[in-house]
């Protein structure tokens, strides 16, 4: 049988279901701007890297509403529609897993899913902010603080996100919750060319002049946490406009003006903290502020964080150890004080992010009596750089886990079903990644790592204890 000229909209219709056939089919459809293709009930989306407005307008939403799955062209709305209808008719919650490597388009797809669910379960416009408006506007807020430019993606999510949209018995959105996982903390202090730090730092540096004066901020090139990379601007993005858009989104989500000011005070304080440098103190292994510039940044950070500058200096230059008998204060040398400074900056940033998520959740509100929910999982995608760190390990391990979950459902359970029903069936060969997971989980790679971290000396070298450990 000859292949259809425009490709097939469901891979299960291919005469030969093998990798070249699948890729050829996706490429053929992509040429025609058909970015969605089914494989049974799974939707494959190929990133178009251009706005295809006609695919997502209200007319499209109307068309997919209630249409039987497979009747219309493959679309992300069709997947959300099936999940919604199954929830209404069968009274059970559903989850949609969006998976793919970094830059594949997961976050954009998640936004379309949420927009469509808001369309299906939204209330008629009433006074004030609706739950669905708040859910949708939580995206730009979270992106400002949790997304950054990487080598692969100008707006890469540096955290995992599970959005739960709760519905009442009439199928109307009654609440929502955002659960986030594992923000990449290291980015706050460490970026490499041509990446950027979290968007919020650049947005704040592009704020109106009176705000810059308030936070004593200057050009982003001035700040140590930003100038390790030469990339400050994103093509086609105005940080000044994004700053105002983020402020507006915060208003809609229910973050008050005072709270917004407190949030940006923390962001500004982190930039000042990064510019505090230390020099050797008079006592052995002690440190002091290097110069007047460092003093200015420390005092400004203390003022923004509303804490005492003396106590703040002590917190950075000394280590406090609490034993059952006494509290021991030990001075830190300049190198250790710098590590302590960076640790402090990372901790307050990740606490700020967690606070934001909590705030968004409490403003949107949870429905304790919700009948069912639809969850959308958008996790950071697989990534492999020239030099990979612990963050890439965690991100890729999460992706392997999700891949195994996918394998379980799509292949293993299907095969078990056929075997149970005694259907003659030739087993599909698929790459099972269980061995990768076994290596990490059963061979206790995490345990070895944890031991290495615990014995870390202040020379930043991991003490090689590998030979002493045996694999279980």
Q: Which one-letter DSSP state was computed for residue 455?
A: T
Q: Which of 246, 381, 396, 399 is catalytic?
A: 381
Q: Are 150 and 156 in contact (CB under 8 A)?
A: yes
- Interface with ligand ATP, residue 105, by CB under 6 A: yes
Q: Are 189 and 345 in contact (CB under 8 A)?
A: yes
Please give the residues from 370 up to 389 whose contact with ligand ATP meets the rule CB under 6 A.
380-381
Among 9, 26, 28, 48, binds ligand ATP (CB under 6 A): 48
- Interface with ligand ATP, residue 39, by CB under 6 A: no
Q: How far is the CB of 396 from ligand ATP (least distance, A)?
A: 11
Tell how strand 372-378 and strand 94-98 pair up. parallel
Please give the residues from 165 up to 194 whose contact with ligand ATP meets the rule CB under 6 A.
none
- Interface with ligand ATP, residue 113, by CB under 6 A: no
Q: Which is nearer to ligand ATP, 274 or 381 (CB)?
A: 381
383 is catalytic: yes
**Candidates 152-160, 185-193, 263-271, 326-334; binding stretch for ligand ATP (CB under 6 A):** 152-160
Annotated ligand binding at 420? The verdict is no
Among 25, 37, 107, 340, binds ligand ATP (CB under 6 A): 107
Instruction: State both tokens at 276.
Output: 């505090």
For 102-155, where are the E strands, in sequence order?
Answer: 147-148
List, in sequence order, every residue forming a beta bridge with 38; answer none if it has no partner: 10, 43
Q: What values do phi and psi take at 385, rounded to 5?
A: -105, 180
Annotated ligand binding at 236? The verdict is no
Burial of 341 (0-12, 13-18, 19+ CB in 10 A): buried
414 is catalytic: no
Q: Are 84 and 171 in contact (CB under 8 A)?
A: yes
Q: How far is the CB of 74 from ligand ATP (least distance, A)?
A: 13
List, in sequence order, every residue forming a beta bridge with 165; answer none if it has no partner: 176, 374
- Interface with ligand ATP, residue 157, by CB under 6 A: yes
Angle 370-405-394 from CA coordinates, rounded to 5° = 95
Q: Which of 157, 174, 275, 313 is catalytic?
A: 157
- Interface with ligand ATP, residue 100, by CB under 6 A: yes
- Interface with ligand ATP, residue 334, by CB under 6 A: no
Q: How would you label 97-132 residue by residue, b for 16+ Cβ within 10 Å and e otherwise?
A: bbbbebbbbbbbbbbbbbbbbbbbbbeeeeeeebbb
- Interface with ligand ATP, residue 51, by CB under 6 A: yes
Annotated ligand binding at 104? The verdict is yes
Q: What values do phi and psi take at 329, rounded to 5?
A: -105, 125
Annotated ligand binding at 176? The verdict is no
- Interface with ligand ATP, residue 26, by CB under 6 A: no
- Interface with ligand ATP, residue 47, by CB under 6 A: yes
Q: Which is nearer to ligand ATP, 85 or 161 (CB)?
A: 161
Please give the residues from 202 up to 221 whose contact with ligand ATP meets the rule CB under 6 A.
none
Whole-angstrom CA distances from 272 to 146, 298, 342 are: 20, 7, 11
Tell how strand 94-98 and strand 287-289 pair up. unpaired
d(CA 125, CA 139): 20
- Interface with ligand ATP, residue 102, by CB under 6 A: yes
Annotated ligand binding at 269? The verdict is no
Annotated binding site for ATP: 100-107
**Active-site annotation, residues:** 102-103, 107, 153, 156-157, 381, 383
Binding site for ligand ATP (CB under 6 A): 47-49, 51-52, 100, 102-108, 153, 155-157, 380-381
């Amino acid at each position: 049988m000859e292949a259809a000229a425009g490709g097939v909209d469901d891979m299960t219709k291919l005469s030969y279901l093998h990798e070249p056939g699948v890729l050829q089919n996706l490429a053929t459809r992509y040429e025609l701007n058909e970015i969605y293709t089914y494989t049974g009930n799974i939707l494959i989306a190929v990133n178009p890297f251009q706005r295809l407005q006609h695919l997502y307008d209200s007319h499209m939403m109307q068309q997919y509403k209630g249409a039987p799955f497979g009747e219309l062209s493959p679309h992300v709305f069709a997947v959300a529609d099936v999940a919604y209808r199954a929830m209404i008719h069968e009274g059970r919650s559903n989850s949609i897993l969006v998976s793919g490597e970094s830059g594949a388009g997961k976050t954009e797809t998640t936004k379309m899913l949420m927009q469509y669910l808001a369309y299906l379960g939204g209330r008629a416009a009433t006074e004030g902010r609706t739950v669905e408006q708040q859910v949708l506007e939580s995206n730009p807020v979270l992106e400002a603080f949790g997304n950054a430019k990487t080598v692969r993606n100008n707006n890469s999510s540096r955290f995992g996100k599970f959005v739960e949209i709760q519905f009442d018995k009439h199928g109307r959105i009654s609440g929502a919750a955002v659960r986030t996982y594992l923000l990449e903390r290291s980015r706050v202090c460490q970026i490499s060319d041509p990446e950027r730090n979290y968007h919020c730092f650049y947005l704040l540096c592009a704020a109106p002049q009176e705000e810059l004066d308030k936070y004593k901020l200057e050009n982003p090139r001035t700040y140590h946490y930003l100038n390790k990379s030469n990339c400050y601007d994103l093509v086609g993005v105005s940080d000044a406009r994004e700053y105002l858009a983020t402020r507006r989104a915060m208003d809609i989500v229910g973050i008050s003006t005072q709270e917004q000011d407190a949030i940006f005070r923390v962001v500004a304080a982190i930039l000042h903290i990064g510019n505090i440098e230390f020099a050797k103190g008079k006592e052995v292994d002690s440190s002091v502020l290097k110069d007047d510039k460092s003093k200015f940044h420390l005092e400004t950070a203390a003022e923004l964080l509303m804490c005492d500058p003396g106590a703040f200096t002590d917190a950075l230059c000394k280590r406090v150890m609490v034993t059952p008998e006494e509290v021991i204060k030990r001075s830190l040398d300049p190198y250790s004080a710098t590590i302590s400074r960076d640790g402090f900056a990372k901790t307050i940033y990740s606490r700020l992010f967690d606070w934001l998520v909590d705030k968004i959740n409490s403003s949107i509100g949870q429905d304790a009596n919700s009948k069912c929910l639809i969850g959308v999982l958008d996790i950071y995608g697989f990534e492999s750089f020239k030099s990979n760190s612990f963050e890439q390990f965690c991100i890729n391990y999460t992706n392997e886990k999700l891949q195994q979950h996918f394998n379980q459902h799509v292949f293993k359970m299907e095969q078990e079903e056929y075997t149970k029903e005694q259907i003659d069936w030739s087993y599909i060969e698929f790459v099972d990644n269980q061995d990768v997971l076994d290596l990490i989980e059963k061979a206790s790679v995490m345990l070895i790592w944890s031991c290495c971290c615990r014995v870390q000396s202040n020379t930043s070298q991991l003490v090689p204890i590998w030979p002493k450990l045996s694999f279980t």
